[in-house]
Amino acid sequence: MEEIRPPPFDQSEATLFHGTRRFQPDGNGTRGGARIQGLKKRGHGSRSWIKIDKNGVAKVLELDKATIMRHCSLPARDLRLLDPLFIYPSTILGREKAIVVSLEQIRCIITAEEVILMNSLDACVVQYKSELSRRLQSNKDQSDDLPFEFRALELALELTCMSLDAQELNPDQEDTLLAHQDCSDTFSTPPPTSPTSY
């Protein structure tokens, strides 16, 4: 029995009356691989990442999400935690081949061999990169009980705690804030009403 196939696509069918394009499934008015120059899919571009290996050597790489997902065996939803455009609560995810860390300004992927963090000029990222490199290079000759992953995670937690401590209010600021809160409570509460009898 012969298989019935649709006729091949004819380029002259691409335009209808007045030169308008026919809707195509890929959303660009084209069929298959032909694309309009300059357009690209959202979320598939390369970004600049910093890779720090076990020896403390840091390299700047251009990687796309798909490459990172394959390399670290991570789903796309885990990479969203690292996106600086979105605000998520602080999270540490333990996966089969990686630890995904999203703490305040430090967002990275820690594997058994390396740390991958988004390249940024943020002070916390620069401090994490330089301090991790320094610690790994100085501890190269010493036997450390902790695996690489835990040393990298420990530093991320340490720097986040230091950042939060620096944001702590001094007693004068706290008193002023409480006084303003009391005033706002006084003005925002409605006057008491008397119960009505039926």
Q: Does domain 47-164 have CATH number 2.40.128.330?
A: yes
pLDDT of 39 strictly over 50: no
User: Which residues, 6+ apart, have CB-to-CB distance to 50 below 8 Å?
Assistant: 58, 59, 60, 61, 116, 117, 118, 119, 125, 129
Which tens digits make up the pLDDT trace of 54-107? Answer: 999 999 999 999 999 999 999 999 999 998 888 889 999 999 999 999 998 899
pLDDT the model gives residue 43: 52
Give the whole-angstrom CA distance, residue 43 versus residue 34. Answer: 20
Q: Tokens for 88?
A: 């998520």
**CB atoms near residue 77 (< 10 Å):** 9
Residue 147's SS3 state is coil
Question: Any idea which of 9-18, 36-45, 147-156 has the lowest mean pLDDT?
Answer: 9-18
- Predicted confidence at residue 198, as pLDDT, reads 53
Q: What is the pTM of this model?
A: 0.64
Q: What is the mean pLDDT of residues 112-133?
A: 93
57 Cβ contact list (under 8 Å, min separation 6): 133
Check whether 13 has a pLDDT greater than 80.
no
Q: Which residues pair with 58 in a beta bridge?
A: 52
Mean pLDDT of 25-46: 50
pLDDT category of residue 33 using cuts at 50, 70 and 90: very low
- The set of residues, in sequence order, having a beta carbon less than 8 Å from that of 159 and lying 6+ positions away, is 106, 124, 127, 128, 131
Q: What is the pLDDT of residue 18?
A: 41
Q: Output the average pLDDT for the chain.
A: 77
Strand order in the sheet with 114-118: 58-63, 47-53, 114-118, 106-110, 99-103, 91-94
In angstroms, the CA 98 to CA 41 distance is 27
Q: Where are the domains of the chain?
A: 47-164
Among the ranges given (32-46, 65-79, 107-121, 170-184), the one the predictor scored with the smallest mean pLDDT:
32-46
What does the DSSP assignment read for 75-119?
-HHHHHTT-TTS----EEEE-SS-EEEEETTEEEEE-SSEEEEE-
